[in-house]
Amino acid sequence: MRTAFIQTLFELAKEDERIVLLTGDLGFSVIEPFMQALPKQFVNVGVAEQNMTGMAAGMALSGKIVFTYSIGNFPTLRCLEHIRNDICYHNANVKVVCVGGGFCYGAAGATHHATEDLGIMRMLPGMTVIAPADPVEARHATRAVVNQPGPCYLRLGKAGEPVIHKPDINFQIGKAIRVREGDGVTLISTGGMLRFVLEAADRLSESGIHARVLSMHTLKPLDSESILAAARDSFAMFTVEEHSIIGGLGSAVAEVLAESGETLPVFKRLGLPSAFSSRVGTQQYMLQQHGLSTEGIVNSVKALVSVFHPADLRG
């Protein structure tokens, strides 16, 4: 995803000199073409993310479209007060980009596990929050946030994510993408979990569970209409995220369902507990340990369906 983001931003910046990229001394395996071709639109601030955020706010208030770029929690939690007070309070046109959301840097330990960021950024006033699922969504999301006024948060994976979508998807901020049709069960995914959710949906279909799959790339503003439409057609709904179950996609969907005033389906959040992980390892290993692998998702769905709608288990 990060390569898709940088390439797209580079293309856009060549056409619009207002676009500026700031980095906290990271990303040099992919940002060199941007840095070398557009030196007046690039600043390496150094390992000083709070300063980077303050600079970005000032540049945005001077008419620039500013992207801050770093890994994991560095561009978000490390400088949260600056994002809140400098960017959001002034409605500055700054786009905060995290590369390596979730367990992408799983081997580096809890300091690099970006697992609370979506919830925290979602709470900030005026902040648009987007977590694309694959390189195609990442390209579309980059173009969308350039045209979206005000603060935005773009949460990316790291590298090597498979392409899921065709290039010409209808990507709109605040509108979910229906990736797969289903009957009775809905799986709502955000970010890079979509690949595992689709694999799980394929496995579930072998057992007679035909799940609708939504890619909820935008957490704020949330596509409440698509959520409620799916709820009306489902007896069970699941959210799947590489993030704490508190504050992220699961919480956002639960809020919509609870306040709808409608008859609700059975609902379960699949995500991470509100705890620091004592284990480290590859992203795949970390997901397996927390029940977010393809098999883990399949098992969670089957367990709930077997209790509330056992007739749908025919495999």
Instruction: Mark whether 15 and 84 lie in a shared domain.
Output: yes
For 189-228, write each residue's pLDDT tens digit: 999 999 999 999 999 999 999 999 999 999 999 999 999 9
Percent with pLDDT over 90 in the chain: 91
Please, what is the average pLDDT of the chain?
Answer: 95
User: If pLDDT is split at 50, 70 and 90, which confidence band does 263 have?
Assistant: confident
Is the confidence at residue 271, as pLDDT, over 90?
Answer: yes
Instruction: Give the total number of structural domains in the chain.
Output: 2
For 29-64, write each residue's pLDDT tens digit: 889 999 999 999 999 999 999 999 999 999 999 999
Residue 257 has φ and ψ, to the nearest 5°, of -65, -45
Q: H-helix or E-strand containing 44? A: strand 42-44
208: how many CB neighbours lie within 10 A of its CB? 13
pLDDT score recorded for residue 312: 55
Percent with pLDDT over 70 in the chain: 98
Instruction: Mark whether 204 and 60 lie in a shared domain.
Output: no
CATH number at residue 245: 3.40.50.920
Is the confidence at residue 125, as pLDDT, over 90?
Answer: yes
Residue with tokens 């065709």: 166
Q: What is the pTM of this model?
A: 0.95
Q: How far apart are CA 277 and CA 244, in angstroms?
A: 11
Instruction: Mark whether 151 and 181 lie in a shared domain.
Output: no
Q: How far is residue 87 from each of residues 78, 125, 268, measured CA to CA in Å?
A: 14, 10, 34
| Alpha carbon 160 to chain centroid, angstroms | 16
Residue-number span of the structural domain to which 115 is assigned: 2-156
In a domain, 184, yes or no: yes
